[in-house]
Amino acid sequence: MPEPIPADLDFLVIGECVADIVRTPGRPDRPHPGGSPANVAYGLARLGRRTTLLTQLGDDPYGELIRAHLVSGGVTVLTDGQDVATPTAVVTLDPSGSASYEFAIDWSLAPTALPRARHVHLGSLASVQEPGAAVARRLLREARSTGATVSYDPNVRPALFGDHRSGVAAVEHCVGLSDLVKASDEDLAWLYPGIPARDSAARWLTLGPAAVVVTCGRDGAFALTPAGEARTEAPPTTVVDTVGAGDSFMSALLATLATPRPAPDALTAALRTAAAAAAITVSRAGANPPTSAELAGTSEYRA
């Protein structure tokens, strides 16, 4: 059963849950609750934001693991009531800690009423994999009509994005519905081969968002707005694995920004905080974002 939805909901996150089965050569498999939207919801709740996740979960051991994990972090879990198997992803880590993925995921979100929230976030496969993607995009349009702000992270997984042209079209549709968009330089390289990440981000800005943020791994992150550009370096850290780093960045970015159209100086502070959250996450195994107390203990933190 879903948890009751708080009346004063800060964030609604829409998207898939995935059981990440982390595989490292020479070690036993380690299951972790995952899925980019689920990670973002968990990260927001860990940072003290009232958050509901609209998702699909199976009545199976992986589904129980993920639900317990989300609820333990303070996330309200709302499902569409369909009988589905919990999606899985085998995450293989190379000696540097970088991750590659093998998925078993279906996304068939049923039409559902939109819970009221100040901000709605859509992520990853939920924006491109039909038939659920059409429902998710409709919910974004409804959210905008109610006055909510909207964010989007395509979190590209080429093996599941299908036809390249269709995937790009679906992503750009969601970009146009959003106030804030975040992508990695690797996402943009797949979507727009041979085009510099900044040029792709600048083009996205013309589609309607107030800010486009691009993460560049060890090279930090930058953001483009109509008012200018903001940048931050990546804090030094010891990498255990990179699972969930971008999702922690997204959570901290959303939790930190006070307005949907921030000035460049405010956005720079938010980027620093988000980069600090990602640095904490990569320093430990799995998608394990920081708490408010952990983030507040970093020199990059901005309240």
pLDDT for 122? 97
pLDDT for 299? 56
Q: Where are the alpha helices (DSSP H) in 102-236?
A: 132-145, 158-161, 164-176, 185-191, 197-205
Q: Which tokens belong to 197?
A: 């990440």
Q: Which tokens belong to 141?
A: 């349009």
pLDDT for 236? 86
Distances from the Cα of 41 to the Cαs of 95, 202, 248, 260, 282, in angstroms? 29, 27, 10, 18, 18
pLDDT for 261? 53
Low pLDDT (below 70) residues in the chain: 1-8, 97, 258-264, 286, 299-303
What structural domains does the chain harbor?
11-294 (3.40.1190.20)
124: Cβ contacts below 8 Å, ≥ 6 apart: 15, 16, 35, 36, 37, 153, 154, 155, 157
pLDDT one-digit tens code per residue, 141-194? 999 999 999 999 999 988 888 889 999 999 999 999 999 999 999 999 999 999
pLDDT for 5? 53
Q: Which tokens belong to 292?
A: 């408010």
- What are the beta bridge partners of residue 152? 122, 181
C-beta atoms surrounding 217 within 10 Å:
17
pTM of the predicted model as reported, rounded to 2 decimal places: 0.88
Distance separating alpha carbons of residues 211 and 138, to the nearest angstrom: 22
Asked if 208 contacts 237 with a C-beta cutoff of 8 angstroms, the reply is no
> Residue 284, SS3?
coil
DSSP string of 140-164? Answer: HHHHHHTT-EEEEE----HHHH-SH
The residue among 275, 296, 301, 150 whose CA lies nearest residue 222 is: 275
Q: Identity (one letter) of the amino acid at 165?
A: R
85: Cβ contacts below 8 Å, ≥ 6 apart: 58, 60, 106
Q: What share of the chain is helix, strand, coil (3-state, %, to 5)?
A: 35, 20, 40
